[in-house]
Amino acid sequence: MVARVPGLASVRTAIDGVDDGLILLLAARARLARVAGRLKAHAGARGRDPGREQDVRERAAALATRVGVAPEVASGVLSLAIGEACRAQALATDMDQGQAGAMRRMMPATMDAQAQPLPPVGESLLRLLPPPRRLAPLLRALPPSMQKRLLERAMAKVLAGPMQDGTLDFMAGRRLGIEVGDLGLRWVVALQGQRLAVVDAPAEATVRGSATDLLLLAGRLEDADTLFFQRRLVLTGDIELGLTARNLLDRLPWEKVPLGLRIALNRGARFARAARGAYHAKT
Ligand SMILES: O=C(O)C(=O)C[C@]1(C(=O)O)C=C[C@@H](O)C=C1
Residue ranges per domain, the chain? 2-121, 137-282
Q: Given ligand 1 and candidates 38, 53, 87, which is best to mutate, with the most ligand atoms within 8 Å of its CB?
A: 53
Q: For residues 234-246, b (16+ Cβ closer than 10 Å) or e, as one string?
A: ebeebeebbebbb
Q: What is the pLDDT of residues 73-90, one digit of tens each?
A: 899 899 999 988 988 888
| Interior angle at CA 174, CA 168 and CA 180, nearest 5 | 85
Q: Given this structure, which CATH class describes domain 137-282?
A: alpha beta
Is residue 178 within a helix (H) or strand (E), and if so which, with residue range? strand 175-180
Q: What is the pLDDT of residues 104-125, one digit of tens each?
A: 333 333 333 333 333 444 555 5
Report the CATH architecture of 2-121.
Answer: Up-down Bundle (1.20)
Q: Given ligand 1 and candidates 34, 38, 46, 48, which is best to mutate, with the most ligand atoms within 8 Å of its CB?
A: 48
The DSSP line for 201-223 is S--SEEEEE-HHHHHHHHTTSS-
ipTM greater than cut 0.95: yes
Q: What is the pLDDT of residues 30-46, one digit of tens each?
A: 888 888 998 998 898 88
Q: Whose CA is nearest to atom 10 of ligand 1?
A: 82
3-state secondary structure of 235: strand
Residue 26 Cα to ligand 1 midpoint, Å, equals 13
> pLDDT at position 197, please?
93
Q: Whose CA is nearest to atom 3 of ligand 1?
A: 36
Specify the pTM. 0.50
179 neighbors 208 (Cβ within 8 angstroms): yes
> pLDDT at position 119, please?
41
Atom of ligand 1 nearest to the CA of 82: 9
Q: How much of the chain exceeds pLDDT 70, in percent?
A: 78
List, in order, residues 6 or more apart from 136 with CB less than 8 Å away: 17, 182, 183, 184, 185
Q: Given ligand 1 and candidates 34, 82, 84, 89, which is best to mutate, with the most ligand atoms within 8 Å of its CB?
A: 82
Amino acid (1-letter code) at residue 196: L
221 neighbors 270 (Cβ within 8 angstroms): yes
154 neighbors 197 (Cβ within 8 angstroms): no
The DSSP line for 102-117 is HHHHHS-HHHHHSPPP
Task: Name the nearest CA neighbour of 81 among 89, 63, 41, 279.
Answer: 89
Ligand 1: list residues with CB < 6 Å. 33, 36-37, 40, 48-49, 52-53, 56, 82, 85-86, 89
Cα separation, 82 vs 203, whole angstroms: 44
> What are the residues facing 188 on neighbouring strands?
177, 199
